[in-house]
Amino acid sequence: MKRVRFLTVFASVVLACISFFHCGGGVEEPIDLAALQSMGEDWKVVKQDSLPDGGFVKLNHDHWLMYFLHWRPLTEKNKNISVEYAKERMLNFWGPDMPFTITSAGGETEIGGHQAYYIDGSFANGVVQTRFIVWNCPERKRQFIADCNINTRRGTSESLLRLQYDITSTISCHGEESGVDNSLLTQKYSSDKFKLSFYMPFNWRTFEYPEPKWFPNGPSDTNGTLWTLLTDSDNYIDLIWENKSKAVSEQLFQEYIGKFRNSIWDFNKIEYSISDLKINRIQNIRNSIGASGSYRMNYRYQEKQGGETFLYRAYLRNYRNKIYFLMASIISRNTWWNRPVDLTPTDDVFKAFLKNEVLPNIPAFRHDLRKIVQ
């Protein structure tokens, strides 16, 4: 799905100046975009409007990464490794569909007590940045390649590429205990089947990589590939406000859900719309209404059309005699590269998104965070 990636200086200034009637000192903004962007995510203004009686803003950030861990039998033919060998592997591992350009001189490191060599490259005119890290494990008679990737066109931070290097440093390939120096690596992947383990962030998820050409009888402890993906690779924030006081009720909440459901927007000749919106749970939270559920975001470009499922948390509240409706959404994928995966964001992932990014930067929902996010 093609994503529109634009944010002009003008849009930033306009959004930073949005107030209920005008730009002016001391007037509280509906959303603090500068603070949101300062957290390191590539948040973009998708659409916005500000009128005397209210307004709305839709924000998005998405990022793309894939972390592969390949292992193959260690033989006399491939046992001699070096930076040049890592370079050869990068240029040939995926075949002609991924014509890499080498972008560094490479170097040396250590993984699991083994000497390792790395090389950096890119393809698709520099859109995808990649590092291959190669090492041998004589104890288990296998050769490893950590295949680290980000897509910069999606606004993916280089810090997420470096994070993959840190993940690699935690790999235990022959039963040794590896240390964890990065506080973000809180989740352990461990496989008795493949006789390896490593640490990754709590919002990443690891799967066997199905490839019949590579593994006609399925992967084994001497010949296999894992891939690790994000469970929150595409996020949205929608905020609607009215400059009038209204009693918060479930009926009013349904009215705002309807406004969201009926929204249609266009970017670069791509038309987006919402369908199949479901409310799984709705509840009163002190002076607010909260709900969770899912919806389908549809897109149409010329003759092409499709859609993806998003999970949401929505809130309605009256704050300083004005009404606010907030919709925070995370994509929920069940396929990647036409392969089945379960990238449903967990409740902990959603709570972290709300507590760390969404609510602190929206004054109407900044207060009483513990009461809103349960």
In tens, the pLDDT along 315-363 reads 999 999 999 999 999 999 999 999 999 999 999 999 999 999 999 999 9
pLDDT at position 177 is 80
pLDDT at 12 over 50: no
19 and 158 co-located in one domain: no
Please indicate, yes or no, whether residues 87 and 147 belong to a single structural domain of this protein. yes
Structure tokens at 342: 């379960």
Give the count of domains, the chain: 2
Cα separation of 337 and 68, whole Å? 13
Please, are residues 71 and 103 in contact by the beta-carbon 8 Å criterion?
no
Q: Alpha-carbon distance 190 to 9, whole Å?
A: 46
Q: What is the mean predicted confidence (pLDDT) over 159-182?
A: 93
Residues 306, 194, single domain; the answer is no
One domain for residues 28 and 85: no
Instruction: Judge whether residue 237 has pLDDT over 60.
Output: yes
- Greatest alpha-carbon pair distance for the chain in Å reads 76
What confidence category does residue 367 fall into, taking pLDDT thresholds of 50, 70 and 90? confident
Across residues 161-188, what is the average pLDDT?
Answer: 94
16 and 95 both lie in a single domain: no
Residue 20 lies in a domain: yes
Count of CB atoms within 10 A of residue 164's CB?
25
The answer on 207 and 89 residing in a single domain is yes
The rounded distance, in Å, linking the Cα atoms of 347 and 362 is: 21
End residue of a domain, out of 212, 230, 248: 230
Give the domain-ending residue among 186, 205, 230. 230
- pLDDT, one tens digit per residue, over 28-81 is 789 999 999 998 888 999 999 988 899 999 999 999 999 999 999 999 999 999
How sure is the predictor about 27, in pLDDT bands with cuts at 50, 70 and 90? low
Tell which of 169, 195, 230 closes a domain: 230
For residue 18, what pLDDT is reported? 42
Which CATH number belongs to the domain containing residue 122 in this structure? 3.40.1000
DSSP 19: -
Judgement on whether residues 218 and 254 belong to the same structural domain of the protein: no
CA dihedral sign of residues 174, 176, 181, 187: positive
Residue 1 counted as domain residue: no
Does residue 119 sit in the same domain as residue 43?
no
Stretch 149-175: mean pLDDT: 96
Other beta carbons within 10 angstroms of residue 87's beta carbon come to 22
- Is 4 within the bounds of a domain? no
Instruction: Say whether pLDDT at 163 is over 90.
Output: yes
Q: Is 70 exceeded by the pLDDT of residue 161?
A: yes
Q: With bands split at pLDDT 50, 70 and 90, how would you rate the model's confidence at 24?
A: very low
Do residues 156 and 267 both lie within one domain? no
299 & 162 share domain:
no
138 and 77, same structural domain?
Answer: yes
Rounded Cα distance between 343 and 228, Å, is 10
Evaluate if residue 203 carries a pLDDT over 70: yes
Task: Copy the structure tokens of residue 150.
Answer: 């980000």
Residue 3 lies in a domain: no
6 has pLDDT over 70: no
H or E segment to which residue 234 belongs: strand 234-242
Structure-token pair, residue 80: 């001699």
Q: Band of the pLDDT at 179, cuts 50, 70, 90?
A: confident
Average pLDDT over residues 237-249: 95
Q: In this structure, what are the phi and psi dihedrals at residue 186, rounded to the nearest 5 degrees?
A: -105, -10
The predicted pLDDT at position 374 comes to 64
Residue 370 has pLDDT above 80, yes or no: no
The residue type found at 364 is A
pLDDT tens column, 250-294: 999 999 999 999 999 987 688 999 999 999 999 998 789 999 999
Q: Are 104 and 83 in contact (CB under 8 A)?
A: no
CA atoms lying within 13 Å on the CB side of residue 50: 14
Task: Supply 104's token pair.
Answer: 């560094």
Residue 13's domain comprises 9-60+238-372
The 10s digit of each residue's pLDDT in 88-144 is 999 999 999 899 999 999 999 999 999 999 999 999 999 999 999 999 999 999 999
d(CA 49, CA 135): 54
pLDDT at 326: 98
Do 89 and 218 belong together in one domain? Answer: yes
